[in-house]
Amino acid sequence: MEAEQRQQRRIAFYHLIITLLTLWSAVNVVLLSFHIGDWHVETRISNGLLVVFAVDYFVRLGRSRDRKTFLIHSAFDLMGIIPMHPVFALFRLGRLARMVQYHHLFWKLGLDGKWSHDFHRFIYSTGFIYLFSISIAIIVLSALLFSVFEHQSLSDSLWWAITTATTVGYGDDTPHTAVGKVIAVGLMFGGIGFIGLLTSTITDFFTNQASPNMPAEASHDEDELRQLLVKIDTLTTKVDHLQNQVKRLEKSGYRKKH
C-alpha cells in the first residue's frame, strides 16, 4: 500500500514536470511566432525542449507493453517532436488532456459530464485521431521530400504541403523537378483523400449528435397530440352526456304539461 502511494506520488510529480514543460513550450512558440524577445535564446530553448520531449517519447515507447495502442493514443506526442517548425510543439498540449483524464481532474472538480464523454467519443470512437494522424504524417512526409528534392526550406515546404493538401493552392511554391511533381501528385491523391475523410468524420459526428434529439422531439409532439385527442374525446363524451340529459328534461317537462 505504501509502495503504491509512493508510485502515485512519483507519477504525479512526473506529470507536473511535463505539464510545466508543455506550457513553457506553448509560450515559447508564441514568443517565436510574434518575434518577442531574443530569437536566438528562444530557438535554443525550443531545441532543448524538443530533445527532452523526444527522449521522453521514445523511453515511454520502449517501456510500453502494447506499442500499437501507445502509438495511437500518443499520436499528438509524436507530432509534437517533429523538428520542422516550432508550431508543432503545440501538439504537446494534447498530453495535458490525457493527464487530466488520468488523474480524473474533471470528476474531482465536479466538471465531468456529457461533454467530456462526447469529446472522448469524438477523438477515439469516430476514428478522428487516426485520420488526423495519417493526414499530418502525409503532409509532413511530403514536405520533407519536397524540401530535399526542390531545395526549399522546411518551413516553405510545409507551407506548400498544407496549401496543396487543403486544395487552396496559392501557387507561390510549385514543384519544378520531376520527383517534386511526383511528390505533389501523391500528396494530392493521399492528402486530399484523408483530409476529405477527416472533414466528413467531423460532419457525421455532429449530425449524429443532433439526430437523436429529433426522434425524441417527434415522440414528445406525438405524446402531446395523443393527450390532446384523449381530452377532446373526453370532452365530446361529456357534451353528449349533457345533451342526453337536456333531452330527458325536455321530455319530462313536456309530459307534465300534457
**216-253 pLDDT tens trace:** 555 555 666 666 666 676 767 766 666 666 666 666 65
In a domain, 251, yes or no: no
Instruction: Mark which of 167, 188, 210 sits at the end of a domain.
Output: 210
Residues 6+ apart with CB under 8 A from 92: 22, 25, 26, 53, 76, 77, 80
In a domain, 122, yes or no: yes
**104-117 pLDDT tens trace:** 776 676 666 666 67
Contact predicate 21/53, CB 8 Å: yes
Query: Structure pTM?
Result: 0.65
130 shares its domain with 154: yes
86 shares its domain with 132: no
Check residue 42 and give its pLDDT.
92
**185-222 pLDDT tens trace:** 999 888 878 888 888 888 887 787 665 554 555 555 56
Distance CA 161, CA 188 (A): 9
In a domain, 162, yes or no: yes
131 shares its domain with 75: no
86 shares its domain with 165: no
94 shares its domain with 4: yes
Cα 202 to Cα 59, 91, 123, 206, 254, distances in angstroms: 33, 19, 10, 6, 79
Q: Provide the domain limits for residue 89.
A: 1-109
Distance CA 8, CA 13 (A): 9
Distance CA 44, CA 31 (A): 13
In a domain, 98, yes or no: yes
Q: How many CA atoms lie within 13 A of 126 on its CB side?
A: 24
In a domain, 31, yes or no: yes
136 shares its domain with 194: yes
8-state DSSP, 188: H
92 shares its domain with 177: no
What CATH number did the domain enclosing 182 receive? 1.10.287.70
Q: How many CA atoms lie within 13 A of 130 on its CB side?
A: 9
The tally of domains found in the chain comes to 2
139 shares its domain with 48: no
**Among 168, 136, 177, 141, residue whose Cα is nearest residue 157:** 141
Distance CA 88, CA 98 (A): 18
